[in-house]
Structure 1
Amino acid sequence: MKMRKLFPLLFLGFFFVFFMLIAGSSSSTTHTASEEGQNLPEVVLRWKDKVTKEATKNEIPEAVPYLLGIIMAESGGNSEKYPDIMQCSESQGKQPNSIQDPNESIEVGVKYFADMWKGHRDYDVLNIVQAYNFGGGFLSNSGKSYSLDNAIQFSKTQAGGKTITYTNPIAVSLGYDYRYAYGNMFYAQIVKQYITSTSNNNSQGNAAIVKAALKELDEGTHEGGTKYWQWYGFNGRVEWCAIFVSYNAEKVGVKMERFAYCPTGIENFKAKNQWLEGGNLPKSGNIIFFDWDGDSISDHVGIVEKVENEVVYTLEGNSGDMIAKQNYKKNSPYIMGYGTP
């Protein structure tokens, strides 16, 4: 649905970063981050099969990109130097780095993450990521929507206001040269950069966003879209079709900027040569844009569920102010085109 563009999208540029990340209250790990827009390094990706196996066993296969991001943040995947590659010994009440088998670390770390994820299905996944660092108690204070301010306040309270110097580039880009001396209040932001840099521009990523949207549909109509526009950061109701798309893409790590205004989404896809004109057959997981009144300005957006016999089946937020399934013929005059993340 049409709405004015309320604020510009912010994004980090390309850079290499070297940093010390404190995971929890005492353990630390040094490693080199990958360049944004490129895949995670092989030293992390070598654990993908094990992570996928454990995530599937714990019924959170959609969390794999986040779990790999956590490994990157915690140890850089360097099991030779850091056998507890998910730095999860403390989640079992043990001393830091007590786990000496990387496979055991993944088993314990994924289960710990899964227990929090499954207990807070309607929470922003970045809150779960932050809780991996702070501990599950954070989720009692975070609210459902992720907020860096909430993470900062929680860390400040737990640290009694004590600060330490911290020059991680992510923190610096957010205007900080310190953090509070409890966990890492920037942890979700640090992991998020690796979600962005993990390429999901493939059938697996497409399938994940469809699965996520179907799950939202199955869990209820979410009439009025409150869950979604609050997640995006709005204080009152806005037209939420684009926000629904952004929510599901970010939840499963699909590489796509958030957008709340349909024309902005089109601009983003065209700028990356990820645009397919209407009249063509899209693929499952593509983002479908509509123009109801023929003025060449997109009014509405959804997710392509599947394509059968030249009919495009969709999942749409804010369709009658609810989540709904719809379908259109390939040559429908209302279809402007598709974003192809």
Structure 2
Amino acid sequence: MKRVKWIICALCILFPVFLLFICGVMLIGVSDESEDGDPVHASGLGLSDKVREYAAFVGDTAAEYNIHEYEKYLLAIMMVETGGEGNDPMQSLGNSGLTEEEKTPSESIKAAVAYFAMLLQKADTLGCDLDAVIQAYNYGAGYIDYISVRGKAHTFQLSCDFASSKCGGRKVKYDNPVAIAQNGGWRYEYGNMFYVYLVKQYLESEPLPADTANAVLAEAYKYQGWKYVWGGSSPQTSFDCSGLTQWCFGQAGISLPRTAQEQYEAVQHLELEEAQPGDLVFFTKTYKTDNYITHVGIYAGNGRMFHAGNPIGFADLNTSFWKEHFVCIGRVSAPSQ
């Protein structure tokens, strides 16, 4: 009987120790896998109205430093930093010596553009890539030096290594969706190792190259007059609206999701005034469904779209029906070369 009691007591002592050991192994496993691969991030999220208010001034200031082509990166950085709010929307005046009352958006933008231009020059001299410049806006110019002797191209692993080296590996909770998807929701205490990927979410896409847009539209025009077929997605079946867009873009080397709602979620959203041939056009409540987006067409220029109506063909976007149900233009990214 004493032996049984001794065994029970031993188990009571050893079992919690065993559990702690297992939990420790699990935690080590989580931290080890956290830096594998580039983080998955959204794209085409769009800029806030506050950021767009500064677009002209950012562009003019960038032109003064001969970096006008980087305007969209500066605006995306502003979106990540503050969303355009406050007297220091670029968060560039922290070491300026100015009081909060003395800081102004114009001074913030000027300082940020000057700093970004300096980073570009440094990266060019050392042969480093643009992602290194973007990350250095957050980390400091020393990151470009760090990258320059480690392959000259930014990677997420290098970003993590740099941050870890600056803070002794200390981690803090970080509930940004990009971080949660990558490692469960943490970052190193120094800077933000996800910065490049946060900025890329807000980069405005360029219109499709003319030859690509023409190829998409030329494929679509082959089916003018064909009947609308619910669920149709190829010339063998004819098409519904999203089936037509998916097929035509696919023939030009661009992969789109299958449904109109999914296509809406995969592209950048713009106003009608910004539409270019080859953009998508989205509508809501054209029929009863739980989905927000119910119809999609391809912008053909001059206020018209080509779409799978019944029959398939052109439609004038200025008519009352389409104006009533219009949601936005969708900018599709060109395929990588």
State the TM-score, normalized to the length of structure 2. 0.48
State the TM-score, normalized to the length of structure 1. 0.48
More helix by share: 2
